[in-house]
Chains A and B, each alone.
Chain A
Amino acid sequence: MNPIDALFQRLRSQQRKAFIPFFTAGDPDLETTAKLAHEVARHGASLIEIGFPYSDPIADGAVIQASYTRALNKGLTIDQIFALVRQLVQQGPFKGGEVPLAGMVSYSLVHHRGPDNFLAQAAEAGLSGVIVPDLPIEEAAELARLATARDVKLIQLVTPTTPRDRATRIARMSTGFLYCVSVVGITGERQELPAELLDQLCWLRTQTDLPLCVGFGVSKPEHVRMLKPAVDGVIVGSAIVRRWEQIGTKPIDAIVREIGDHVELLSNALAE
């Protein structure tokens, strides 16, 4: 069984929720990214989303774009990211897929490498799923077919602006889980989460058996507590990634620990 499916099956039977941190590969460097993966796994991460830096990320907010730029300026390559994943899945909680790894990657990069080639390399390295945020379902049929053949989950996104008939079609095409975008707009932290989101989640429940995970704009324990009853998982990205803006003013290890503490705070809120 794909580790992502196994994870949600396990969590459901234990009546627990998934805590899913996101961070960029190679920001500030690959060695630190590996350390960070272990740190967040130790502090309650159920699954980790690894961002593949891209030069023109229209689907991401300013915090994540700045992080991508920092990584690319150091000459990061996709092969290096795959090597990092390959190394991670041989150790600790990542071995055997107890904490699965998923890639967040622009279709620009997937297309350039060739979709099947990209998926083959991702699967071989040890990624259990990919999220391609700029590939709507109209263009996704081919990639979905290839991903199924490689047993890589292709996680699709639903947003507050998605009409209901369309949301149903997206849910049907998604595998692993359904990524529910919480606010209109791009990734980033918000002060509060809208009530309509809870309505949409309740409705989605009636449409799909897939786990529902909410991301975009989640940064505080209050957000997590509010979402908890309606979701199977919570994704936190910008609130983690922005900590790397402090680089140069603080030692790297201190920032890694800070992120670990924040992850623990949020994952505890989810486990209460």
Chain B
Amino acid sequence: MPSTTEKVPDQHGHFGPYGGRYVPETLMHALRQLTEQYDHARDDPEFQKQFDYYMRHYVGRPSPLYFAERLTKEAGGARIYLKREDLNHTGAHKINNCIGQALLTRRMGKPRVIAETGAGQHGVATATAAALFGLKCQVYMGAEDVRRQKLNVFKMKALGSEVISVESGSRTLRDAINEAMRDWMATVAHTHYIIGSVVGPHPFPAMVRDFQSIIGTETKQQCHDQLGRLPDVVVACVGGGSNSAGMFFPFIADRDVELIGVEAGGRGAQAGDHASTLSYGQPGVLHGSLSYVLQDADGQTANVHSVSAGLDYPGVGPEHSYWKDTRRVRYTNVSDAEALEGFARCSKLEGILPALETAHAIVEGMRVAKQRSHDDIVVICFSGRGDKDCFEVARLLGENIEG
């Protein structure tokens, strides 16, 4: 078992045994080029300056670190702070990565981007960045999701992107990723694939983490400015794992800060009822990298479930697998029912509708806060706003709001 958790990934994209590149030879050249281009961009102050400019003036960063007084009182323990990624343009952390990769696309001189999307959040963020930088954009979305997420499909079209409905396989996020990879294999000369999470072949997991690290870097600075010290606990939800990777990464070397990742517990621990990859999965290969995966006895990808579309994924970023094995991050899960309760509580107590993904982190954050003293500080990554989930929550509550 590896013991250090800082100097990863290595040059082949390995986080300990995880990560790497498990892709067809057709993509290898493009991935090496992308790695080279990204390495140059990352070390170029001009690129960093552009990224910072759009983060501040377009996305609206820095996002506040807000003291949630009433949630703190309700939990009755440690003080709870919310890192308000929901206040970003487009309503979630996804835009950070999309702006970064769209800038990189422009720098590489490619005129077209593609993306996969599940519920549509990453698709909307990519369509937004594509509009901003004048890139042609096509978004792959499972046919099931196209049907369920009409509003986001409309938004992407309004932003000038084309939405391609994917009819293969399970017709969900997994298949959208497969189709996007396939498109990229045939179009790589003029197209960049903006992956939405810290998954996929190297350099995507490290690159997406880097763009999202603005979350953790700001949080650290804000803790310093507002509280005069580091937090005791940082909590974030984990689907593919991009908001959590961005939040955790700047804290990895701060051993006294406890890091907790929250997966979707769904309806229960039985296969097919949850999406708790790190809790119940095992190391395997999916979508181009080695990481924990939920598979059946033969190694076929398992079906997963979560009330939250953003956490409903059978894999997880390879760096999370590495953090799990090195025990730097503790991973736990929260059920559908608990998340819905968290959604209601946060809405009523703080006047903020959380995304259902975020609601998972809130439940765990309050659970942890309860066990700690008022002197302690728990930061919850408030990854996105809940507007997108209102139809689903209403449906589950038996209310019809679609009119």
Contacts and interface: CB of A to CB of B under 8 A. Distances in A.
Interface of A: 54-59, 61-62, 65-66, 69, 72, 77-78, 106-109, 111-113, 133-136, 138-139, 156-159, 161-163, 166, 170, 181, 184-186
Contact of B298 (A78, A107, A181): A78
A233 B300 CA distance: 31
B298 A57 contact: no
A163 B29 contact: yes
Interface string B155-187: 000000000000011000011011001100110
B198 interface: no
B5 interface: no
A58 B181 contact: yes
A186 B26 contact: yes
A163 B234 CA distance: 45
B185 A65 contact: no
Contact of A159 (B21, B25, B175): B25
B188 interface: yes
Nearest to B303: A55
B25 A57 contact: no
B28 A184 contact: no
Interface residues of B, number: 36
A111 B285 contact: yes
Contacts of B299: 54, 78, 108-109, 111-113
B184 to A, nearest CB: 9
Interface in B261-318: 283-288, 290, 293, 295, 298-301
Nearest to B169: A69
10 contacts: A55-B169, A56-B178, A65-B178, A134-B23, A135-B22, A136-B28, A161-B28, A161-B29, A170-B25, A184-B26
Interface of B: 12, 20-26, 28-30, 168-169, 174-175, 177-178, 181-182, 185-186, 188-189, 283-288, 290, 293, 295, 298-301
A107 B25 contact: no
Nearest to B20: A139
Contact of B178 (A58, A133, A156, A159): A58
Contacts of B28: 136, 161-162, 166
A138 B290 CA distance: 13
B284 A108 contact: yes
Given A184-B185, A186-B182, A157 B24 contact: yes
A58 B29 contact: no
B349 to A, nearest CB: 41
Given A58-B288, A108-B284, 11 more contacts: A56-B286, A58-B287, A65-B168, A72-B300, A108-B285, A112-B299, A134-B288, A136-B28, A139-B21, A166-B28, A186-B185
A87 B167 CA distance: 35
B295 A112 contact: yes
A111 B17 CA distance: 13
B69 to A, nearest CB: 45
A154 B23 CA distance: 16
Given A55-B300, A69-B168, A161-B30, A108 B20 contact: no
B287 A186 contact: no
Given A72-B300, A161-B29, A185 B185 contact: yes
B24 A133 contact: yes
A164 to B, nearest CB: 11
B21 A56 contact: no
A163 B31 CA distance: 13
A57 B286 CA distance: 9
Contact of B24 (A108, A138, A170, A186): A186
A112 B182 CA distance: 23
B168 A134 contact: no
Given A65-B169, A111-B284, A158 B178 contact: no
A154 B175 CA distance: 28
Contacts of A136: 21-25, 28
Contact of B23 (A58, A77, A112, A184): A58
Contacts of B284: 108, 111-112
Contacts of B26: 159, 161, 181, 184-186
A59 B287 CA distance: 10
Which of B26, B188, B189, B290 has the largest count of A CB atoms less than 10 A from its CB? Answer: B26
A57 B24 CA distance: 10
Given A112-B295, A138-B12, A184-B186, A56 B25 contact: no
B192 to A, nearest CB: 15
Which of A113, A135, A163 has the largest count of B CB atoms less than 10 A from its CB? Answer: A135
B352 to A, nearest CB: 36
Contacts of A185: 26, 182, 185-186
Contacts of A66: 168
Given A111-B290, A112-B284, A113-B299, A186 B25 contact: no
Contacts of A186: 24, 26, 182, 185-186
Contacts of B21: 136, 138-139
